[in-house]
Structure 1
Amino acid sequence: MKFEARLFLYGVMFFIPVGLIYAFWSGGEPVGTVGIPLVGGLVGMIGGYLALLARRIDARPEDDELGEIEQGAGNQGVFSPWSWWPLVIGLAAAVAFLAMAVGWWLMVPAVALGAIGLVGWVFEFSRGQHAH
């Protein structure tokens, strides 16, 4: 987690000065002048959270400067390589973005399709009463 925290906290050192430079060069254009430093603040909050989290958990193999590749070997999680549900959620996102261009009425089927895809993806490996 230390690497991720540093990565985000370095973003603060980029976005805040860039926001100030942008404010100076643009003559105080309101959207970028406020937005770019706010991005720095958001990145700082994420980096701060990851730094706090890194202190509470044990060091991972990628946190070791002298670590070897084989230290990270093993089970990395459960993945479903043949799942069709991400495609359904992607289609719902595409329809939602299309709704912003064509008409807001199209958002209703996009949300419904997204809810169906999300429930299907969450319960894909479910066994028991809600299995499908």
Structure 2
Amino acid sequence: MRFEAKLFLAGVLFFVPVGLIYAAFSHGEPVGSAGLPLVGGLVGMIGGYFGLLARRIDRRPEDDEHAEIAQGAGDQGVFAPWSWWPLVLAVGAALGFAALAVGWWMLAIALPFGVVGLVGWVLEYSSGQHAH
């Protein structure tokens, strides 16, 4: 997590000065003048969290400059290749974004897809053949 912390903290060094320069040259335009420093603060919080997390967990191969690719082998997490729930959730999200362009009435169609897809994906391992 050390690399991720450095990456996000580098964003602070970019967004805050750019936000201040933008505020000086835009003659008080409020959206960009507030938004860019706020983005800098957001990436600073994420980078700070990753920095604190890097202290608590063991070093990963990604954090070692001299690591070999083989050191990162093994399980990388849980993945369910048979799951249809991400597709249901994607249909809900696609319909929801289409509702912004077509009409707000489409949200009534998109919301059930999104809720059912999200709940199904979260509870996938709590029922049926793969319950634990």
Q: TM-score, normalised by structure 2?
A: 0.89
Q: Within 2, Cα distance between the matches of 1:42 and 1:87? A: 30
Give the Cα separation in 1 of the matches to 2:82 and 2:7.
33
Note the C-alpha offset of 1:70.
Answer: 0.5
Match of 1:9 in 2: 9
Q: In the alignment, which residue of structure 2 is the partner of 1:125?
A: 125
Taking the aligned partners of 1:12 and 1:110, their CA distance within structure 2 comes to: 37
Alpha-carbon distance in structure 1 between the residues aligned to 2:77 and 2:112: 29
Q: Equivalent residue for 1:68?
A: 68
**CA RMSD across the alignment:** 1.9
> Aligned partners of 2:111 and 2:51: how far apart in 1?
35
| Distance apart, 1:33 and its partner CA | 0.3
Residue 15 of structure 1: how far off its partner (Å): 0.2
Q: Report percent identity of matched pairs.
A: 70
> Per-residue deviation at 1:97?
1.4
The one-letter code matched in structure 2 to 1:80 is: A
2:21 is aligned to 21
Structure 1's unaligned 5+ residue stretches are none
In structure 2, distance between residues paired with 1:20 and 1:127 = 53
Residue segments in structure 2 that go unaligned for 5+ positions in a row: none
Q: Which residue of structure 1 lines up, in the alignment, with residue 113 of structure 2?
A: 113
Alignment partners' CA distance in 2, 1:8 and 1:122? 28
How much has 1:125 moved relative to structure 2? 3.2
Q: 1:60 Cα shift?
A: 0.8
Instruction: State the aligned residue count.
Output: 131
State the secondary structure of the residue aligned to 1:65: coil
